[in-house]
Amino acid sequence: MKTILSQIHAYDSALLSVSEIFAQEKEISHEIYARTAFGDVNLADSQTLRNMLEGITKNKLQAFENALIQPKKIQSESIAEIFVQKIAIPAKNTAVRSDDTPFYNMGEANSQPTSELHAFPRHLDNYQLVSTPKGVLPVLRCTPIENNVVGLDWVTFSFCVSTFGDKYYNLENEQVDLGVGDAIETWLDQLLFEIFGFGISEKRKCGIRFDKYGYDLQDNLGMVLYGNNNKRIRVQINGSGCALARKGWNEQLYKFLKVQAKNPKLNRVDIAFDDFESEFVSVQACDQWDTDGGFFNGGRNPEINKLGDWKRINGKGLTFTVGNRESSKFLRCYERGKKEGDSLSLWTRLELELKSSDRYLPLDVLLSPSTYFKGAYPALEALCNQLHDFTAPEKCQLVEKQATINFDKAIDVLKTQFGKYIRQFRKIISDDVLLNLISSDKDVVPKRLEFTHASVMQSLRLSSLNRRIFNINVDEELPLFVGVPLLNQSAYKDFIHAI
């Protein structure tokens, strides 16, 4: 403890360049992490030391920034100065630092070498200049994903805390804040920087909704939330974060969720298309699409709302929405340029919001958003075809009230509810006799359970390779059981009744 304190004091008093600041901060951070891991420093002291180190680093970097940029009042700012404040400063914080290498032992999320490809994203083509009464302002746009006509404008994903290590899953409630927070500040912070180009800024005073704790990302580009009953970490990357993230961030995020994360899930994805000349999309065109049945999906006509003054156009912009804001699928079309203050702008944005409240969002949405964008409504499919995107549309399947459960989760339910009884019975009854005793006399599948052929065949293939199926993470796209209520309830009563 004293050794680290002396290093921090020496770091505080030293005159260092920017690169030396990062190097010194990294070295001391590693020392704190190592001593905490070996138990030489407890979590509370570790947090205190990190706060001291972070504060000193911020002060040193702020001194350099103040020397380079002297902000003026809004009235006297030029276009260049506004650009620096709105675009360039966040860009600097998302730039690649070549001396940063991951120090955790869980593998790199981004195996590609640091190069110009991953420097400031898209080489400054991710903004649009908008003329307003205050002058010309740069506004972030949604840049299409490679080989797609649309881009990602918001992503919320989550994963189990056991991704950090099994010990984090079993922490007591009073240990969660410091314990999980320490893993977020060390491992997740570095991972987010590798994927998106920005990391954690500071801890929030409180979380949101069911999450007790949280962190803000740099430049308000998103949040990290945790401390909920289902023991999951939730990461939100907002529209600005998606626009300023490194090139290929969606591919790196896909790899992390597919390979490293445990029980990964996409909670929300916004897919957007920007039409700067209203050549293909306008609020009036969307209104006509609805009249022509372009938003009818075979069930019932969706709810339609018109916002703004549609009768007396005032230059403030109009909005056309399809669906309910609280539902799992919601489409909005609005005049983005006018919303930003340019009364003559033709810039129109079409934005599809998908949430996992009652809809399964496959990870492939990150790689091929166009296919799910055009699969949402017939009108969007026609639009994408007009834009020469002829990929086959895909729909995010609805999760019925009786949701899907795979083999592993079914075993977990059985173990949780009856595992203690079965363990004791095995002490006095042989396994084959016990299995016959507790098995149903009728060889029928319960009404609320259903085997799918694809999953049965998958299970047979895995068994042929002499692999125990209960150690295999069955792909959620091939559920073994269909028809069981969600497992995030306090008790599995519905499942017990089904058995």
Element (H, E) at 273: strand 265-275
The structure tokens listed for 14 are: 């030293």
Indicate the range of 305-319, 360-374, 443-457 predicted with least confidence: 443-457
The larger pLDDT score, comparing residue 77 to residue 320, is at 320
176: CB partners within 8 A, 6+ apart: 212, 213, 226, 227
- Exposed, middle or buried, 142 (CB in 10 Å: 0-12/13-18/19+)? buried
The pLDDT value given to residue 403: 44
Share of the chain above pLDDT 90, in %: 26
279 pLDDT exceeds 80? yes
The pLDDT value given to residue 447: 52
The pLDDT value given to residue 413: 73
Element (H, E) at 265: strand 265-275
The pLDDT value given to residue 409: 65
The pLDDT value given to residue 468: 41
The structure tokens listed for 227 are: 């401390």
The structure tokens listed for 336 are: 């983005």
143-192 pLDDT, tens digit each: 888 889 999 999 999 999 999 888 888 888 878 888 888 888 888 998 99
The pLDDT value given to residue 465: 44
- Domain positions in the chain are 2-116, 151-386, 404-498
Name the band, by pLDDT with cuts 50, 70 and 90, for residue 327: confident
The larger pLDDT score, comparing residue 456 to residue 108, is at 456
456: CB partners within 8 A, 6+ apart: 480
Q: What is the mean pLDDT of the chain?
A: 76
Share of the chain above pLDDT 70, in %: 73
pLDDT winner (highest mean) among 39-43, 59-63, 318-322:
318-322
408-459 pLDDT, tens digit each: 667 777 788 888 888 888 888 888 888 888 888 877 766 545 554 445 555 4
Residue ranges in 235-282 assigned as alpha helix (H): 239-244, 249-255
200 pLDDT exceeds 70? yes
Q: In angstroms, rounded to a whole number, what is the distance separating the alpha carbons of residues 246 and 477?
A: 29
The pLDDT value given to residue 114: 40
Q: In angstroms, rounded to a whole number, what is the distance separating the alpha carbons of residues 259 and 414?
A: 27
Mean pLDDT of 110-126: 47
88-105 pLDDT, tens digit each: 555 555 544 444 433 333
Beta carbons of 130 and 140 less than 8 angstroms apart: no
328 pLDDT exceeds 90? no
The pLDDT value given to residue 191: 92
248-275 CB burial, b ≥16 within 10 A, e <16: bbbbbbbbbbeeebebbbbbbbbbbbbb
The pLDDT value given to residue 186: 86
- Exposed, middle or buried, 332 (CB in 10 Å: 0-12/13-18/19+)? buried
The pLDDT value given to residue 85: 54
The pLDDT value given to residue 314: 85
CA dihedral 181, 186, 188, 189 (to 10 degrees): 100
pTM for the whole thing? 0.60
The pLDDT value given to residue 59: 84
224-266 pLDDT, tens digit each: 999 888 889 999 999 989 988 888 899 999 999 999 999 999 9
The pLDDT value given to residue 36: 81
The pLDDT value given to residue 119: 44
The larger pLDDT score, comparing residue 111 to residue 430, is at 430
Mean pLDDT of 470-495: 42
| Residue 411 amino acid letter | I
Name the band, by pLDDT with cuts 50, 70 and 90, for residue 69: very low
